[in-house]
């Protein structure tokens, strides 16, 4: 079984600027700092000065060169710390505030430069095409015709230009009636007399219409509770059953007004009950019932602003496929 050796993740280094490495990991800057310290030490060694002064200076510059090149402090080189030290010493540490004569208006909108219209070359404007000259001549003719000027244009007329003909309008002379002339009066027409007895034709209805029965005279289905009677005028409620008194669920009811326009559409619930929430407008209505497999007669009722009793609707017969 191979053992996995965990290595410590290297510390991220600066990659924004490339540093040329001279020997191994030693950069050119580190080499120059180390070489500078050693060169200063060699110069001091060659100078004839007392030994108690020479050797401490030689040791100081050699150690300083090594420290500048290889001894960082808090991830910063020693040369960086020296530059920061002298910059902080000679930078001002005390600031003075002086009141200005005119306060600054910080919320004042920035001044915008005035946008001047582009200047065009006059020579470009003077140069016109033959088509533009024709348009100028045509417009000048129309202007002179509208103002009624009698002057003739001095411009040359192009034979290709269209000719405009202005029709002359003759004033309408008002005609006054001659004196002594009378307008003849026509005799009134005799009124048309209607016959006393009108012929009427009775058309047999396509289907038999039924009227809603009162809640006190009908017996609702025993399979469920009877519908709650309405408490608001012009609101209808009731129950739909088959010819044997069994409730019919999901029957679609459509209410139409006297002009055969649909005004309400509703559907029976599991108990066969139906109810409208908003009251109807006074008038005569027709209630149409549709359910697959059953045949219903339309029910007519009239809304008179009174309480309408619950309606029981029974199917005439059951369709058999």
> Cα–chain-centroid distance for residue 51?
90
Tokens read off for 200 = 């009427």
Residue intervals of the chain classified under CATH 2.60.40.10 are 237-318
**Average pLDDT for residues 13-19, to the nearest whole number?**
57
> Of 130 and 41, which is predicted with more confidence?
41
| CATH code linked to domain 237-318 | 2.60.40.10
Three-state secondary structure call for residue 314 = strand
Q: Which residues pair with 76 in a beta bridge?
A: 73
- The secondary element (H helix, E strand) that includes residue 299 is strand 299-303
Per-residue pLDDT tens digits for 131-182: 788 888 888 888 878 766 444 444 444 545 455 555 565 555 545 545 554 5
* C-alpha–C-alpha distance, residues 43 and 207, integer Å: 133
Tokens read off for 191 = 């009124």
- CB of 290 closer than 8 Å to CB of 250: no
Q: Which of 103, 85, 38, 28 is nearest to 65 (CA)?
A: 38
> Of 206 and 43, which is predicted with more confidence?
43
Q: Which of 65, 68, 70, 62 is nearest to 25 (CA)?
A: 70
- CB of 313 closer than 8 Å to CB of 295: no
**Average pLDDT for residues 118-139, to the nearest whole number?**
67
> Of 42 and 12, which is predicted with more confidence?
42
């Amino acid at each position: 079984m191979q053992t996995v050796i965990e290595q410590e993740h290297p510390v991220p280094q600066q990659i924004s600027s490339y540093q040329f490495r001279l020997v191994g990991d030693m950069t050119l800057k580190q080499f120059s700092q180390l070489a500078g310290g050693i060169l200063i030490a060699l110069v001091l060694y060659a100078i004839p000065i007392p030994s108690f002064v020479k050797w401490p200076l030689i040791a100081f510059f050699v150690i300083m060169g090594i420290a500048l090149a290889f001894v960082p402090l808090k991830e910063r080189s020693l040369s960086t710390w020296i530059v920061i030290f002298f910059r902080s010493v000679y930078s001002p540490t005390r600031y003075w505030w002086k009141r200005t004569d005119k306060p600054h208006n910080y919320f004042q909108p920035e001044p915008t430069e005035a946008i001047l219209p582009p200047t065009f070359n006059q020579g470009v404007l003077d140069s016109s095409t033959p088509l533009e000259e024709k348009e100028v001549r045509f417009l000048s003719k129309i202007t002179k015709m509208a103002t009624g000027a009698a002057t003739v244009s001095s411009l040359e007329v192009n034979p290709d230009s269209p000719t405009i003909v202005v029709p002359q309008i003759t004033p309408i002379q008002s005609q006054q009636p001659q004196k002594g002339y009378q307008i003849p009066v026509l005799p009134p027409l005799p009124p048309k007399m209607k016959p006393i007895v009108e012929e009427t034709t009775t058309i047999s209805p396509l289907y038999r219409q039924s009227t809603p029965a009162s809640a006190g005279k009908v017996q609702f289905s025993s399979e469920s509770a009877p519908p709650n009677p309405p408490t608001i005028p012009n609101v209808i409620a009731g129950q739909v059953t088959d010819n044997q008194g069994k409730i019919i669920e999901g029957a679609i009811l459509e209410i139409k007004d006297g002009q055969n326009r649909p005004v309400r559409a509703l559907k029976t619930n599991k108990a066969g009950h139906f109810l409208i929430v908003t009251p109807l407008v006074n008038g005569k209505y027709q209630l149409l019932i549709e359910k697959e497999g059953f045949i219903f007669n339309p029910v007519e009722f009239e809304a008179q602003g009174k309480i309408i009793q619950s309606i029981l609707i029974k199917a005439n017969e059951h369709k058999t496929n």
